[in-house]
Amino acid sequence: MPSNTVNGNTAAVPLPKPAPAEVVQVSKGTLYLLTSFALVILAVVSATLAIAVDTNDQVGKLKLGNAVLSSTSSSYSSSPSSSPSSYTPAATPATTKYGSSSPSSPYGSSSPSSPSSSPTKTPPSTSTVNPCNGKKPKDASPGDGYFNNVPCLVDGVKQSLEQSGTNVTKGYKGEIDTQGRMPITSTYKLAGLCPVNVHWHLGAEHLSVGEYDENGKGPLMYRKARRSLNAAAGASVRQGFQCHVYDKSDEKYTKPYAWKHCVGMQIGQTYEIHWPHSAAGMCGTEWQMQTPFYDGVFCRDGIISLDPLNTYQKIGVQAQVFTIVNDDNLYYDNLISGMIINTDKHMGIDVAKYTGSTTGTTRNNQVCSRYTPITWQVDRACHLISASSFDKLCQDMKGMKDDMSDDLYAHGARELVASQFAADNHQRKLIEDS
C-alpha cells in the first residue's frame, strides 16, 4: 500500500517567517505544488503547477517511468548461482575473524554478492539488454523537468522537500515539518527493498559530532575549500567531513596500497559509502546493481509513485563512514551487499533514520534536489576498514553486468544541509529496536 500518512491534505510545508499566514493546505495530489506556492500566488504557470494539475485531475496515480518493462517478464528472472569472485588481498586477511560477521548484511538472499543469488557474470542469452538503462526519471509529466534541481528558495519559499546529507548526531532535528511522514525504520530488506548500487563520496556528507565532523583529519585537509583533486574524474571534487582517527605516525594511515580496482583512492582518507536501495530495483537478478544509481532505483514501473506519495517507503539509502587503512586485519569482503552490521564492533548499530533527498555536489544550500523524500539510514559511528576491502568491492562492481565504472572512484561531497532544509523526523532509535 502506498503512503497512508501522507497525502496532499497534510503535506503543507510551513512557509518562512516573513509569510506566517500562508501555511498552505493543498488539495489531494498536489503535494509538490506546495513548493510552488509563491509561483501560484504570482500566477506564474510553472511546470510544477502543470504536474500538480495533471496529477490531480487526469492521472490520479502518477507512475514514474514508462511502460516498456513488465515486472513479470521472464527475461529478468533470477540468474543461476555463481561463485563469488575470488580475491586475495596482498596479505592474508583475517577473513576467518571477520568473514562470518561481515556478510551479516540484512539482505540475505537478495544481496547481490551472496553466492545463492549473485548476479551472474555470464549472462543468460535472454538478457543482453539492460532493462534499467535510462530509467532515471527527468519528468513527472512529459517534458516538465520535474526532477531537475531547483533553487532551494524562491522569494523565501521552499521549492523542494527535505534534503540530505544532514547532521545525524543523536538529538538533531531539522526544521522541515514532515507532517508525520516517517522514514523506513525496519531494515530495508524487511521493507521489500534491495540494494541497487554502491558508491562513495570523498569525506562524509553527513555530520556526526565527534565521529565525522568539521574537526576530523586526514592526509589532505582542506578546511576552507575542502577540495581535492580526483584523479579519476580529472577534476576537483569537494571534500566532506573526516573522521578523527588519522594518525600520520602510524603507518597504516600512510603506507601506500597497490590499488588494482578502485581509482584515485587514498590511504588514511575518510569516505562515506552509500548503498541506494529500492523496491523497484531488479532485485535478485543480474541487473540489480546499476550505475547511475537512479536507473536501478527507478528500474521497474508501477511501484514508485508521487501521488499518492510513497517514495520514502520504496527508496532508501544506507550510509556508513570509513577511514581507509593499509591493514588487512580490517578486511571485510562483502561491502557490495550493504552496510556492515556487526554488534561486537559497533558497526551499523547506532543508526540515524530520517527522510531526505539524493546528494552530490550539484546540490547545496542554494540548489536543492527534487528526488525527495527518500529514507536515509546512516551509521553515526566512523569505522576503520582496509584498503583491500574497498578494492574487493571495486572488483565485485566490475563483475556486475551493468557498467559501474563511473562509481569506482570517490564522488564529491555536498555541503552540510542547513537545518531549514532538513527534516524534523530524525529517529533516535538503534537498529535493534526495529
Ligand X SMILES: *[C@@H]1O[C@H](CO)[C@@H](O)[C@H](O)[C@H]1NC(C)=O
Q: Measured from the CB of residue 211, what is the shortest distance to ligand X in angstroms? A: 11
Region near ligand X per CB under 6 A, out of 60-68, 133-141, 166-174, 269-277: 166-174
Q: Does 418 bind ligand X (CB under 6 A)?
A: no
Taking the CA atoms of residue 297, residue 298, residue 299 and residue 304 in that order, the dihedral angle to the nearest 10 degrees is 110
Q: What does residue 176 show for φ and ψ, rounded to 5 degrees?
A: -80, 120
Residue 241 or 275 with smaller CB distance to ligand X: 241
Torsion sign (Cα): 398, 403, 409, 410? negative
Give, as ranges, the residues between 80 and 99 that touch ligand X (CB under 6 A). none
Binding mask 195-214 for ligand X (x = CB under 6 A): ------------x-x-----
Residue choice 56, 167, 197, 318 for contact with ligand X (CB under 6 A): 167
Comparing every residue's Cβ against ligand X, the nearest one is 167
Across 239-393, the runs of DSSP E, i.e. the strands, are 242-243, 270-278, 305-307, 315-325, 351-356, 367-368, 374-386
Q: Which residues contact 85 (CB under 8 A, 6 or more apart)?
A: 395, 396, 399
Q: Measured from the CB of residue 168, what is the shortest distance to ligand X in angstroms? A: 8
Number of residues that bind ligand X (CB under 6 A): 6
Q: Measured from the CB of residue 170, what is the shortest distance to ligand X in angstroms? A: 7
Residue choice 142, 143, 171, 256 for contact with ligand X (CB under 6 A): 171
Q: Measured from the CB of residue 418, what is the shortest distance to ligand X in angstroms? A: 9
Region near ligand X per CB under 6 A, out of 111-119, 168-176, 250-258, 272-280: 168-176
> Which helix or strand (DSSP H or E) is residue 390 part of?
helix 387-398
Q: Determine the Cα–Cα distance for residues 379 and 354; give it in Å rounded to an integer.
A: 12
**DSSP conformation class of 303:** S
Q: Measured from the CB of residue 207, what is the shortest distance to ligand X in angstroms? A: 6
Count the Cβ atoms, other than its own, within 10 Å of residue 101. 15
Residue 80 or 210 with smaller CB distance to ligand X: 210
Q: Determine the Cα–Cα distance for residues 94 and 335; give it in Å rounded to an integer.
A: 15
Closest CA to 398 of 313, 350, 322, 336: 336
> Helices H, strands E: what count in the chain?
6, 16
Residue 260 or 429 with smaller CB distance to ligand X: 429
- Name the site residues for ligand X (rule: CB under 6 A): 167, 169, 171-172, 207, 209
